[in-house]
């Protein structure tokens, strides 16, 4: 399998090289809209019918019972429990440090303005199952929700044909203090949290990754006044490497990204032709040792190795692409990192693989993809809070800014606004 190598492309060629995999949006939109409508109208009945239709699962109770939770936790090996525990500790440490102190400022004499972070009361977490049950995502979403103080945390995740949820997912949920867990996957799970059913409560904000149906459902959920963490598409990594980079490190980063899905994309940026020309062979050698080869090959089919003239060009390309994951495997990594303005999460140096952030370094792995890092942050503690402002004016404070308010209100022809100040000043 050969990854395409492009040498010294003109800047006019960059947009074509940066193109991500795009799904058929009209058909996708209509399919998901039909699912959303079915769940809204039929509730739990629709969830059972759709689980049978799409997953071949005959669902009984939608909720995971305490007995199921205990049985699953007993099945998880001590080694995996220890790994989850260590990852959870690091994730919690990093997110606890993000707590915001209440802000209070006197903007002028007698005028005090405050800002306070308040947790979102009801949040919904979607955890993919299938071939890769993402118990790590439970930690990435459940721990910040708990630290932020969200009082109602709902989790939806698909079960297997045996009607059971992956044991590690349930152990991670217990670690996060999540007890309201429901056996529902795909777009229908998002619909359930957006509309509410007899069993699954409606939430105010939905978090979590998923396939293109899940992502489209999250976008449509916003029509029902439900917020989402961020728009997202296929996962991606961009690696910047110099001539000293270990090719096996770079190749393994390509492959770890490619196994996320056939529509994932990996990109190498380098100023060293020799590194670029040798990388495909190393990728092929390591690929031969891995499972899921067909899926990985499809991903590598729209991945790129790009040789540029200078590091200035490299950083311009990075910021134009806005990668979900950015690995700076080069001697100048610290200097380059200070110039990064568009990226989800950045990994510095040869010993910082994307896998570390995906699982256990402490940063969050729920990140903006498809160029959304131009404007969106990855999930963090703020994602689970609202910032409410407060103001308190004394008689002196209103007198000090009253004329300003009256003048501005009159200029906008909002005379009742002016009146609300005038009646106080007159008194």
Residue with token string 């669902």: 59
412 labelled ligand-binding: yes
The contacts of residue 240 (CB under 8 Å, 6+ apart) are 268, 269, 270, 314, 318, 326, 327, 328, 329, 330, 333, 336
**Does 235 count as an annotated binding residue?**
yes
User: Does 354 qualify as catalytic in the annotation?
Assistant: no
Decide: 315 and 323 in contact? Cβ < 8 Å: no
Tokens 């990093």 correspond to what residue? 94
Whether residue 324 lies in the annotated active site: yes
The reply, when asked if residue 29 is annotated as ligand binding, is no
Sheet holding 152-157, edge to edge: 180-183, 152-157, 122-126, 205-207, 227-228
> Is 223 part of any known ligand binding site?
no
358 known member of a binding site: yes
Gap between the Cα atoms of 229 and 175, Å rounded: 22
58 in a known ligand binding site: no
In angstroms, rounded to a whole number, what is the distance separating the alpha carbons of residues 37 and 224? 12
Taking the chain, what is the end-to-end CA distance rounded to the nearest angstrom? 82
Q: Is 80 exposed, middle or buried (0-12, 13-18, 19+ CB in 10 A)?
A: middle
Query: Would you report the helix, strand and coil content of the chain in percent, each value rounded to 5?
Result: 50, 15, 35
Residues written for the chain: 427
Cα–Cα distances in angstroms (integers) from residue 256 to residues 154, 250, 286, 296, in the given order:
30, 10, 11, 9
Annotated binding residue at 309?
A: no
> Tokens 């940066």 correspond to what residue?
18
Q: Is residue 348 within 8 Å of 339, Cβ to Cβ?
A: no
Of 119, 112, 183, the C-alpha closest to 148 is 119
Q: Is 98 annotated as a binding residue?
A: no
Among residues 68, 259, 313, 325, the one annotated as catalytic is 325
- Answer yes or no: is 126 a known binding residue: yes
Q: According to the annotation, is 302 in a ligand binding site? A: no
Residue 298 CA to residue 301 CA, distance in Å, equals 5
Tokens (6 digits) for 335: 């200097």
Q: Which of 223, 262, 187, 229 is nearest to 28 (CA)?
A: 187
Of these residues, 236, 324, 354, 406, which one is catalytic? 324
Give the SS3 label for residue 192. helix
Give the annotated binding-site residues for Zn(2+): 257, 260, 358, 417
Binding-site positions read 126, 188, 211, 235, 257, 260, 325, 358, 412, 417
Which are the catalytic amino acids? 324-325
Residues tagged in the binding site annotation for substrate: 235, 257, 260, 325, 358, 412, 417
* Sequence ranges of the binding site for NAD(+): 126, 188, 211
């Amino acid at each position: 399998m050969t990854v395409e190598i492009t040498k010294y492309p003109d800047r006019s060629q960059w947009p074509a090289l940066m193109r991500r995999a795009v799904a058929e949006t009209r058909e996708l939109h209509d399919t998901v809209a039909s699912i959303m409508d079915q769940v809204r109208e039929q509730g739990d009945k629709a969830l059972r019918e759709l689980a049978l239709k799409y997953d071949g699962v005959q669902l009984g109770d939608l909720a995971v019972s305490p007995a199921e939770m205990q049985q699953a936790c007993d099945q998880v090996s001590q080694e995996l429990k220890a790994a989850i525990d260590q990852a959870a500790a690091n994730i919690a440490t990093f997110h606890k440090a993000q707590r915001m102190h209440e802000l209070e400022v006197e903007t002028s004499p007698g005028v005090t303005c405050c800002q306070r972070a308040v947790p979102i009361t009801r949040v919904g977490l979607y955890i993919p199952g299938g071939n890769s049950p993402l118990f790590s995502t439970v930690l990435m979403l459940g721990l910040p929700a708990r630290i932020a103080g969200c009082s109602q945390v709902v989790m939806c995740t698909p079960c297997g044909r045996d009607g059971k949820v992956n044991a590690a997912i349930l152990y991670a949920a217990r670690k996060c203090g999540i007890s309201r867990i429901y056996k529902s996957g795909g777009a229908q799970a998002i619909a359930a949290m957006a509309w509410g059913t007899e069993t699954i409560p409606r939430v105010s904000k939905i978090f979590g990754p998923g396939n293109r149906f899940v992502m489209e459902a999250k976008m449509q959920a916003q029509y029902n006044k439900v917020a989402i963490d961020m728009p997202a598409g296929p996962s991606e990594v961009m690696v910047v490497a110099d001539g000293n980079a270990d090719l096996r490190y770079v190749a393994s980063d390509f492959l770890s990204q490619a196994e996320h899905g056939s529509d994932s994309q990996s990109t190498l940026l380098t100023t060293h032709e020799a590194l670029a020309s040798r990388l495909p062979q190393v990728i092929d050698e390591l690929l031969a040792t891995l499972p899921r080869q067909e899926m990985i090959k499809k991903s590598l089919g729209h991945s790129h190795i790009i040789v540029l003239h200078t590091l200035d060009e490299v950083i311009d390309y990075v910021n134009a692409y806005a990668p979900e994951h950015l690995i700076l495997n080069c001697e100048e990594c610290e200097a380059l990192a200070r110039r990064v303005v568009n990226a989800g999460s950045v990994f510095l140096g040869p010993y910082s693989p994307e896998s570390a952030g995906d699982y256990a370094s402490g940063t969050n792995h729920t990140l903006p993809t498809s160029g959304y890092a131009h404007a969106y942050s990855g999930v963090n503690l703020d994602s689970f809070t609202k910032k409410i402002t407060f103001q308190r004016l004394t008689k002196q404070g209103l007198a000090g800014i009253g004329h300003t308010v009256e003048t501005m209100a009159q200029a906008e022809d909002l005379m009742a606004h002016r009146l609300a100040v005038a009646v106080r000043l007159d008194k």
